[in-house]
């Protein structure tokens, strides 16, 4: 069964809307979760590393004010795409692993479509 | 600059034959390599992994080979089954616990019956 749950799986909304995506670890505590984004025919690109109880670490080129990450507990991290625009349309996916362990387990992703 | 490369975007194999998926990397600091399988509209599912101190790891029909000198790894699936049809991602991790994975672009495997 799934060990990482991601919700919602699909979002379609108007430009300017803010969208929140949740990522939960079900069977373990994850001090670190990762947020990736995948454009068509591209690899999964790391956006940010979410650390429980502290600020997220963003990859170069990812706007932290645009993609707000909150990791308030050991089992939940949220990604909020603020004032989304059509160019933010993508497949967003989170992963988590038990403390320091591999492999990382992935959620089923969120397909975000901004009209 | 891609640190993990899967140069074949697609591979077609007949049922029962061997599937070989290849992956090259550039960073010698990677210490752990993983293969994930992904179906459309789903997240990647872990398949098999290998530590940089090993050159082979086998799990049922799946075997991963690592050639550190060539910075190359491959996934062998034998015998291939139609249900193996999916996108396969190679991923690598820097030698530091808790770090994110770096993915290749993926190879779409099609197994025909």
- From A32, A102, A107, residue closest to B34, measured CB to CB: A102
3-state class percentages of chain A: helix first, strand second, coil last, to nearest 5: 5, 50, 45
Segment B52-105, tens digit of pLDDT: 999 999 999 999 999 999 999 999 999 999 999 999 999 999 866 667 889 999
| Region B33-55 average pLDDT | 92
pLDDT at residue A1 is higher than 60: no
pLDDT at residue A86 is higher than 80: yes
Say whether residue B105 is in contact with chain A using an 8 A CB cutoff.
yes
| pLDDT number for residue B96 | 67
Cα B100 to Cα A45, A49, A80, A100, A114, distances in angstroms: 10, 7, 20, 11, 27
Segment A30-57, tens digit of pLDDT: 888 999 999 887 888 999 998 888 889 9
Is the Cβ–Cβ distance between A6 and A96 less than 8 Å? no
- Going across the sheet that includes B72-77, the strands are B4-5, B19-25, B72-77, B62-67, B56-59
CB contact under 8 A, A44 and B44: yes
d(C-alpha B100, C-alpha B92), whole Å: 9
Place of tokens 């901004």: A114
d(C-alpha B85, C-alpha A79), whole Å: 31
| Chain B residues touching residue A32 (CB < 8 angstroms) | 98
CB burial readout B61-71, b (16+ within 10 A) else e: ebbbbbeeeeb
pLDDT at residue A24 is higher than 60: yes
Segment B7-24, tens digit of pLDDT: 999 999 999 999 999 999
Say whether residue A44 is in contact with chain B using an 8 A CB cutoff.
yes
Nearest residue in chain B measured CA to CA from A111: B41
B60 burial via Cβ count (<10 Å: 0-12, 13-18, 19+): exposed
| Region A70-74 average pLDDT | 87
pLDDT at residue A75 is higher than 70: yes
Say whether residue A105 is in contact with chain B using an 8 A CB cutoff.
yes
| Chain A residues touching residue B95 (CB < 8 angstroms) | none
Query: Which of the residues A10, A35, A44, A94 would you substitute to probe the B interface, choosing the one with the greatest number of B C-beta atoms within 10 Å?
Result: A44
| pLDDT number for residue B6 | 95
pLDDT at residue B2 is higher than 90: no
| pLDDT number for residue A59 | 92
Is the Cβ–Cβ distance between A73 and A24 less than 8 Å? no
């Amino acid at each position: 069964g799934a060990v990482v749950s991601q919700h919602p799986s699909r979002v379609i909304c108007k430009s300017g809307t803010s969208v929140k995506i949740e990522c939960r670890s079900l069977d373990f505590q994850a001090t670190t979760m990762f947020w990736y984004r995948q454009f068509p025919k591209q690899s999964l690109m790391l956006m940010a590393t979410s650390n429980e109880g502290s600020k997220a670490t963003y990859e170069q080129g990812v706007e932290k004010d645009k993609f707000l990450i909150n990791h308030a507990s050991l089992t939940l991290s949220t990604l909020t795409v603020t004032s989304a625009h059509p160019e933010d349309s993508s497949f967003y996916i989170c992963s988590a692993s038990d403390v320091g362990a591999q492999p990382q387990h992935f959620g089923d992703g969120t397909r975000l479509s901004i009209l | 600059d891609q640190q993990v490369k899967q140069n074949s975007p697609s591979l077609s194999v007949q049922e029962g034959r061997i599937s070989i998926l290849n992956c090259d990397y550039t960073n010698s600091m990677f210490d752990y390599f993983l293969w994930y399988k992904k179906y459309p509209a789903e997240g990647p599912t872990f398949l098999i992994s290998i530590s940089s101190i090993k050159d082979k790891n086998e799990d049922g029909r799946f075997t991963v080979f690592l050639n550190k000198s060539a910075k190359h790894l491959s996934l062998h699936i034998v015998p291939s089954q139609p249900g193996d049809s999916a996108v396969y991602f190679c991923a690598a991790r820097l030698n530091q616990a808790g770090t994110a994975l770096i993915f290749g672009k993926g190879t779409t495997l099609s197994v025909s019956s």
